[in-house]
Structure 1
Amino acid sequence: MGMKRKIPCISYDNAETLSVPPGFASLTSFTLKKVADSGEATDLMVVDRGFKPEPNKMGSPLNNADIENFKASFRLRPWILHSQFDRVSEKCDSEIGMNFPLRAHLPKGVIRGCPTCHECQKVIARWRPEESRLPVLEDAPVFYPTEGEFEDMLKYVAKIRPKVENYGICRIVSPPSWHPPCLLKEKMTWETPKFDTYSQQIDGLQHLYLKRKLCRFHEKMETKRPKILSEDLESSADTDEAKCFTVSSDFDSGPEFTLQSFKKHADEFKRQYFRVSDMVTDPNVSSNAFLEQHEPSLLSIEGEYWRIIENPSEEIEVLCGNNLKTQALRSGFPVKPCAEYSKYAESDWNLNNIPKLPGSLLPFESCDISAILVPQLSMGMCFASHCWRTEEHHLYSICYMHLGSPKIWYGIPGRYCFKFVEFVKKQFPQLCLSDHPELLHELVTQFSPSTLMSEGIPVYRCVQNPLEFVVIFPGAYHSEFDCGFNSSESVHFAPFDWLPHGQYITELYSEHYRKTSISHDKLLLGAAKVAARVLWESSVLRKDNINHQIWKSVCEQDGILVKALKSRVKLEGIRREHLLNRLLVSRRLEDDSMAATKRECSICLYDLYLSAIGCSCSPNRYACMRHSKQLCSCPWSAKCFYFRYGIEELNSLVAALEGNIKAIHIWAKKKV
C-alpha cells in the first residue's frame, strides 16, 4: 500500500485577508435589493453600495424611462447576468459567436394597425434628406429592341448576352407598340381576392435578419440534421418548394390585403413618410393627389433608403407580398388565347410562355417544379426589399413590371460571384463553418453598394419602370427595392448557354448539402436525346424547320450542348471507374424508373438521375458515388450500383451530337 496523502484543513476565518489570484480581480461590488411598491421594476433595480439616492426620491417607484435605462445599463456591465427578457438572444449570441455591431434601441417609426382596423398606420419617422447615403454607381445597359427583334425572346437574350454578362443585369424597354392588358386592374382581381403579406424591418436588413436566421439554423442543426440524413428522401413537389423558396419565412406575417387596399396602404405610408414637417396638409386630400404634387425624386428615395440601412434613426417597418403564385391571384398577362388578346397571350414575352419556349430546357424536367415554371407575382411599397441573392440553380430570371412606381435594382457580374462570397465570409466568419455552409445561399442581408465597391466588387444600377423587363443572368448577385406601390411578375428560364452554370451549381449544392429543385442531368440528357432525333430527321429524312435550326446550332463539336454533355460524361466516367473497382453488383434502371419521383443522395442531397448506390438494408435510401461508404455499414457485397446509361452509351450520344451517322441512327431508334 502506498502512502496516504493528508489534506490540510483550511480555515476560512481570515478569508477577507486572502489575496485574489491573478486574473480574478473583483469588479465593482454591488448588492441586489427589492424595491417596495414597484411592481413593474421589482427584478430590475440594482443598488450600488456607494450609491446615495436623493432624499426626495427615496422609496418612489421607478417610471418606465428609468426601467429602460436600467435595462440598458446592464449591457454595459458584463459582470451582471441579464434578466429573463433577454436570455434567448444572449443564448444565440454566445452559441453562434456572431460579432454583430452593438445597436442602440431605436424608437418605432411606424405604428401599424389598431383594435378596429389592421390596415391603418401612423408614420412617425420622417425623411432626412440632409443625411442621404446615395451610392454613386454606373448604370447597367439598357436595350431597345425593334419590332422584329422583339418577336423571338430567347434569340434576343442570346444576342445581348456577350455585353450583359459584364454587368450581370440589364433592362429591356419594350417597343412602343407593346401594350399588353394588365389583368390585375380588372375589377374582380383588383377588389376581391386577398393575398398574404409579410413585414420587413428595413433598418434591420444589414444584420438583424441574418442574426435571427443563424439562431434558428443553429437550433435546427442541433436537433434535425441526424434525423434528416436518416429519413427517406422521396420528396414531393411541395417539400421541394418549401425547402427551396423560404426567404419570406425570415420575416413576420402581415395582414391580408386586396390589391386595392394594399395600394391605399402603400400610398399612405409614402405620403406620411415624405411629408415635409412644416407643410400643412389637408386631411381631405387623397394620398394619390398629394403624391402627384409632392412626389419625391428617385434619387431622394434611394438616398433615404440607404440611410435607413446604414444609419437608421427609427425602426421602419413596411409590408410586401412576394413570391405570390399566379395560380392563386392570376397572372397579369392573358393566359388563354382570345380574339382581343391573342397577340399577347401567344407572345414570347408573356411570362407564362417563357419557361417552355423552343430552346428552353426546363420542360425536360418531368417532376412538378411549379415553383420555377409558374411566374411569381410581387406586390411592393416604398422601401420593400429583396436582399442580395443569386437565382435558384443560377437560372436566368426575367421580371416584368405591370404597374406602379419604379423598382431600383443592383447587380454584380457573375464572374465576381466568388469575390462576393469571400466578402460575406469576411463580414460574417461564422458562415464559413462546415456546420452550415448552405447559409451562404440563403442570405437575408442588404449590403451597401458603396461598401461592396470599396472591396473591389463592381455594382451596377438599374431603374425599372412599368412595361419594362429586367433580365438577371446566371450567377449574378442582385438586390432591389421598391420606390412605391407597384406590381411585378417574374419567372425563370434556362436556354442552352445556361448548361455550364447548371452543372457547376449542382456540384456546389452537393458540397454545401443543399437540396436541388431541378435535375440538371435530366435536363441535359433530355435535350441531348431530342437533339439526336432532330439530327436524324435533318440528315437522313431531310426534314428541316425553324426548331431544327435551333437544335443544330447547339450541336457539332463546338456546340454548347455537346460541350456540356461531354464534360458531364467525363465526370461520371471518372467516378464510376473509381467505384466499380469494388466489384459491386450493377443493375440498370429503366428509362422511366425513378422519373416520377426525384431521388437524392441521403448524405449530400445530390441528384441521382444518372446513377445511385443502394443497399438491401434500407430500400428507400440511396447515396451518390462520392458518399457510397457513408450510406450504411454493410459490406460492399450487400450494396448495388444503379445506372440509367452505361458510359459507352453516353459516349455514343456525344458522338451522335457531333454528327456521327452511326451513333445518330442508334439514338434515333431509342424512345425519347
Structure 2
Amino acid sequence: MATRKKTLAAAVAAAAAASPSNTPIALSKRKKRATPSTPVLAKDESTSMDIDTDESVVIERSARGGKMMSTHSMSNDTRLRRLSSKKKSPNTGSSSSPSSASKKSPSKNNKKVTSSSTGTSLLSEFKAAKSWDSEKVRNWDIQEAPVFYPTVEEFRHPLAYIEKIRPIGEKYGICKVVPPYKAQPIMTQIDPKTFKFKTKLQNIHQLKTRWSGPSEVFVAELCSFLEERGESMLSFPQYDGHDLDLYRLFVEVNKRGGYWDVTRSNGWQEILVLLKVSDKCYKPIQMLKQHYNKYLYAYELARKAQYDELLKQHPNKQHPSMIEQVISECIQYDESNDDDADDMEDDQEDFGFYEGNTYSLEHFEQLASNFSMRWFPNGNNDPDSVESEFWRIVENGDENVQVHYGSDLDVRTHGSGFERVKDFDPNNEETHPKEHWNLNTLPKMKRSVFSHLTDPVSGVTDPMMYVGMLFSSFCWHNEDNYLYSINYMHTGTYKTWYGVAGDQSEVFERAMQESLPKLFSKTPNLLSMLITMMSPAALKESKVPVCRTLQSPGDFIITFPQAYHAGFSHGFTVAEAVNFAPADWLPYGVKSTEHYQAVHRTNVFCLEQLMMALSKRAPSPELIKWLLPCLEKIYANEKTARAALIAKGCVN
C-alpha cells in the first residue's frame, strides 16, 4: 500500500508540473481545517449578504457538519475516518491501478466515454446491473388494507367506532378511516412562519443495505489519496442541502472527458440535471466546480497520468477508458471483497439518522416542494411511480439519497394541529359536529385506560407531529408496549403505509432475521431502532401476510396492537399521531411487559401501577372482563419470581 501511495503521489506531482497555469486547483500541500465542527465554506457561501430566504434554507445546511441522533449513530466525520483508515485499494493489482502510474503528465487527448474500446461498455453494464422495472412494484400485488367510511353519527364516537371495526382491522394490522366531512385546515392552529422544528437526515439508500457498494469503495480510496497529500476530508462536502455524491460526480464528469472538457463544452448544466440539483441552490455551477476542484480534480489528474502510462507500456493493446477502469475497480472490489462489505455492515451498530437543520414549516415546505420537483421534473410523481422509485433506491442501495424528516415533535413544545383542550372531561366521548377526532383528547377519553394515568407521557398521552418530504421514512416497528396508534394527516401529498397483523409479528420478525442475519447478529434489537426497511415483496416471499394503503390529507390511519408497520412520504406532509389504549389492549400490555423483561427493555410507563389504579376506580363490567385475567397473570408471575428468589436464598 505504501508503494502504491508513493507512486500515486508521484503521478500527481508530474500531472501538476505539466498542467496549464490556470489549473483550477493548487496541487501543493494545503493547510488542514482546524476541526470537523468548523468546516471551511466557499467565500460566496459564507459572505454573501444578498441571498433570499429560500436560498438560505439550503445554504444553512452546508455550514454544518452532520452529527448523529443517538448513541447508536455515527457522524459523517466518524464515517470518513473509518473509510480512510481502511486504506484499501479497490484494485486487485492490475496495471490499471494508480499504483502503476509514472511521473509523466496526463495526455491532453483523454477521450470522452462513448463505448469501451473492447467493444462492451462497462458503464452500460453497470447501469444494466442496477436497472429497475418501473412495473415491478405494481406486480408485487400487495393486498390493500381495509378502508372504513363512518357515518356522521358513528364518527362522533371515536373509540366506540374503533372498537366496532377492530375485528376486521386487526386482521391486517392497519386500516384507514375516512371522515364523513372535511376538516378545518391545520393553519387555523399553527402559524407556518413560527412553527419551527429540527430535522433528522435520513440516508434512504442505506435503510436496507448499510454497505453502499462502489460509492463506499470510491470514497475510501479518495480519502486515502487525499490523506497522502495532507488534505484529509474532515467531513462530507455539503451541497444543495445534503452530502455530495462524490462518486456520481466523478463518474459523470469523466464520462464527458474530465473537468476541462465539461467546462469548455458548457456541460456543467447537464451535470446539475443528472445530480438532481434544485433551482434554489445558490450559484450551483460555481459551488459544484469548487467542490470538484477541492476533492476530485487532483485525483482525476493522477488517474489520467496512470492511464497514459498504461497506454505507453502496452501501445498495441486495447484498453477500456480511464473512467470505465475506475468503475470496474469499484464494482469488482465490491463484488470480490465480501469480508470488507461485512465489515461495513458490522458498522451498522453505528448507523442512524444524522442531525439536520432547524426550519420553519413554511421554509421546509419550500425545501420539500423543490426536492420533489427536481426528482420528478416531468410531474410524473403519481403514487405508483413514487412507490416504485422509493423501493428502487432502497433495494439497489447504490445512489446517495438523503432527505430531511421532522419526526417525534412534542406538541407540548411545538404546537398541535388540533385544539389543545384544557380541563378535558374524560366522560365526554363525543366529538363536536363537523370536527375531526382531536388527538389531544382521544387517548384521555373514558374508554381509553390512559384516562387513569397520573402523569402525561409524550407520544403516548400527548401527540407528536411529523413533517416529511419525498422519501422521508418511518421504518418497520410496532408501537411501544404494543399500543394502538392513530395517525392523522393534516396537509400535504400522500403517505404509503405497510402493515403486518399483530398475530403475525413472530413470523415477521423471523423473516427479517433470516433476510438480514448479519445486521441482527450485531444488533439483536434492530427493529426497536426504526432504521431498517424491507420491501413488502420480500416479506410476502417469506410467507408474511402484508398489506398497504395510501393516506391522503384528512385520513386517519389506525395501527392495532403488536402490528408492525412502516411507510414513507410522497412529498411534503404534516401529520400528527398518538397512542391510545382501549380495554382490549390490556392483554397486549401484559405480553409486551413479559417480552421487554426478557430482552431487558424498559416500559414507557408502569403497567402494574396503571392496572392497580383501574381496579380501584369502580371499573365497568366491560373493563373487568379484560382487567381481571391480566391482574391474575401478573400476580402469578410475581409469585413465581419471588419463590425463585427465596429458593436461591436471595431473600428470607
TM range (shorter): 0.5 to 0.7
Is the counterpart of residue 146 in structure 1 residue 138 in structure 2?
no
Which residue of structure 1 aligns with residue 563 of structure 2? 476
Aligned to 1:261: 363
Is this contact kept in 1: 2:583–2:627, CA < 8 A? Answer: yes
How many angstroms apart in 2 are the aligned matches of 1:331 and 1:31? Answer: 59
Q: Whole-Å Cα distance in 2 between the matches of residues 566 and 523 of structure 1?
A: 15
1:13-24 mapped onto 2 (5 Å cutoff): none
Distance 2:441 2:365 in 1: 28
**SS of equivalent residue, structure 2 residue 586:** helix
Deviation at 1:209, TM superposition (A): 9.0
Query: 2:612 aligned to 518, 522, 525, which one?
Result: 525
* Cα distance in structure 2, aligned partners of 1:50 and 1:369: 61
Judge conservation of contact 1:31–1:48 (CA < 8 Å) in 2. no
Q: Larger relative contact order (C-alpha < 8 A, sep ≥ 6)?
A: 2
Separation in 2 of the partners of 1:53 and 1:426? 38
Matched, 1:275 2:341: no
2:12 aligned residue = 38
Q: 1:511: how far off?
A: 0.9
Aligned twin of 1:647: none
3-state secondary structure, aligned to 1:167: coil
Question: Displacement, 1:300?
Answer: 1.2
Separation in 1, partners of 2:28, 2:134: 40
Distance in 2, Cα, partners of 1:50 & 1:254: 42
> Over residues 16-66 of structure 1, what are the superposed CA-to-partner deviations in whole Å (9 max), with x where a residue is unaligned?
xxxxxxxxxxxx998875443636799989999995999x97313689xx9
Say if 1:199 and 1:251, in contact at 8 Å, map to a contact too: yes
- In the alignment, structure 1 residue 320 sits paired with structure 2 residue 389: no
Contact 1:348 1:357 in 2 (8 A): no
For residues 330-409 of structure 1, the aligned pairs below 5 Å read 330-336=415-421, 349-409=437-497
Counterpart residue identity of residue 273, structure 1 = W
- Contact map agreement 1:413 1:476 (CA 8 A) in 2: yes
Taking the aligned partners of 2:396 and 2:571, their CA distance within structure 1 comes to 21
Question: How far apart are the structure 1 equivalents of 2:433 and 2:345?
Answer: 41
| Partner residue, 2:396 | 311
Q: Quickly say closer, same or farther: Cα 1:527–1:296, change in 2 above 3 A.
A: same
Equivalent AA in structure 2 for residue 309 of structure 1? V
Query: What amino acid does structure 2 have at the position aligned with 1:267?
Result: S
CA contact (8 A) 1:361 1:495 kept: yes
Structure 2 CA distance for aligned equivalents of residues 495 and 252 of structure 1: 36
Q: 1:308/1:524 Cα in 2 relative to 1: closer, same or farther (>3 Å)?
A: same
Deviation at 1:489, TM superposition (A): 0.3
Task: State the identity as a percent.
Answer: 30
SS at 2:485 equivalent: strand
Q: Distance in 2 between matches of 1:414 and 1:45?
A: 47
Residue 378 (structure 1) shift: 0.6
Which stretch shows the higher mean deviation, 34-43 or 469-478? Answer: 34-43
> Highest CA radius of gyration, 1 or 2?
1
Name the SS of the counterpart of 2:548 in structure 1. Answer: strand
1:326-366 Cα distance to aligned partner (Å, 9 max, x none): 1222100112489xxx9659978200001111021224333
The one of 100, 103, 106 equivalent to 1:59 is: 103
Q: Deviations over 1:604-657 (max 9, x none)?
A: xxxxxxxxxxxxxxxxxxxxxxxxx5xxxxxx56xxxxxxxxxxxxxxxxxxxx
Per-residue deviation, 1:196: 0.7
Letter in 2 for 1:412: V
The residue aligned with 1:564 is 630
Q: Matched residues in 1 for 2:455 and 2:207: separation?
A: 35
- Measure, in 1, the Cα distance between the counterparts of 2:612 and 2:459: 22
Letter in 1 for 2:538: T
What secondary structure does 2:191 align onto?
helix
Q: How does 1:179-194 map to 2 (within 5 A)?
A: 179=183, 181-184=184-187, 189-194=191-196
Structure 2 CA distance for aligned equivalents of residues 203 and 130 of structure 1: 18
Q: Aligned to 2:165, what secondary structure does the other structure show?
A: helix
Q: Does 1:302 align with 2:394?
A: no
Q: CA deviation at 1:193?
A: 3.2
- Partner of 2:577: helix, strand, or coil? strand
Does the CA contact (< 8 Å) of 2:494 and 2:553 recur in 1?
yes
2:642 — aligned with what? 576
**What stretches of structure 1 of length at least 5 have no aligned partner?**
1-27, 67-105, 108-126, 219-248, 277-293, 535-550, 584-628, 630-635, 638-672
How do 1:61-76 and structure 2 match up within 5 A? Answer: none
For the Cα contact (< 8 Å) 1:209–1:444, is it kept in 2?
no
Deviation of 1:295 (Å): 5.2
Q: Give the counterpart of 1:452 among 539, 546, 549.
A: 539
Equivalent position of 2:338 in the other structure: none
3-state SS of 1:195 partner: strand
Distance change >3 Å, CA 329–CA 62, structure 1 → 2: farther
User: Quick one: distance in 1 between partners of 2:187 and 2:149?
Assistant: 26
Tell me, yes or no, if the aligned pair for 2:491 and 2:554 is still in contact at 8 Å. Answer: yes
Deviates more, 1:502-511 or 1:132-141: 132-141
**Aligned AA for 1:160?**
I
The answer to whether the 8 Å contact 1:500/1:564 transfers is yes
Report the alpha carbon displacement of residue 302 of structure 1 after superposing the two structures with TM. 1.1
Write the deviation string for residues 206-242 of structure 1: whole angstroms up to 9, x where unpaired: 1229998964748xxxxxxxxxxxxxxxxxxxxxxxx
* Change in CA separation of 1:381 and 1:458 when aligned onto 2, cut-off 3 Å: same
Q: How does 1:224-263 map to 2 (within 5 A)?
A: 250-263=352-365
Contact 2:174–2:557, Cα closer than 8 Å, also in 1 = yes
Q: Which residue is 2:513 aligned to? A: 425
Q: Which residue of 1 aligns with 2:621?
A: 552
1:421 aligned partner, one-letter code: E
Tell me, which stretches of 5 or more residues in structure 2 are unaligned?
Answer: 14-26, 30-86, 111-125, 213-342, 424-429
> CA contact under 8 A between 1:144 and 1:175: conserved in structure 2?
yes
User: 1:316 and 1:175, CA in 2 relative to 1: closer, same or farther beyond 3 A?
Assistant: same
User: How many positions carry a matched residue from both structures?
Assistant: 424
User: Larger helix proportion, structure 1 or 2?
Assistant: 2
Partner of 1:159: 164
CA RMSD, Structure 1 to Structure 2 (Å): 3.9
> Quick one: distance in 2 between partners of 1:53 and 1:492?
57
The structural deviation recorded for 1:517 is 1.2
Structure 1 residue 407: Cα displacement? 0.8
Q: Residues 394 and 475 of structure 1 are in contact (CA less than 8 Å); yes or no, is this contact kept in structure 2?
A: yes
Q: Label 1:495 to 1:130 Cα distance change in 2 as closer, same or farther (>3 A).
A: closer
Deviation at 1:184, TM superposition (A): 3.5
C-alpha distance in 2 between matches for 1:182 and 1:274: 27
In 2 relative to 1, CA 32–252 (structure 1 residues): closer, same or farther, beyond 3 Å?
Answer: closer
- Secondary structure at the aligned position of 2:192 is classed as helix
Structure 1 residues 335 and 49: alpha-carbon distance in aligned structure 2, compared to 1, 3 A threshold: closer
In the superposition, the TM-score normalised over structure 1's length comes to 0.57
Q: Is the 8 A contact 1:402 1:488 kept in 2?
A: yes
Give yes or no for contact 1:201–1:317 (8 Å, CA) kept in 2: yes
1-structure distance, mates of 2:524, 2:460: 24
Q: Which amino acid aligns with 1:409?
A: W
SS of equivalent residue, structure 1 residue 479? strand
Tell me: CA distance 1:365–1:256, structure 2 relative to 1, closer, same or farther (3 Å): same
Indicate the SS of the match to 1:250: coil
User: Residue by residue, what CA displacement relative to the aligned partner does 1:287-313 show, whole Å, maximum 9, x if unpaired?
Assistant: xxxxxxx35211111111111111245
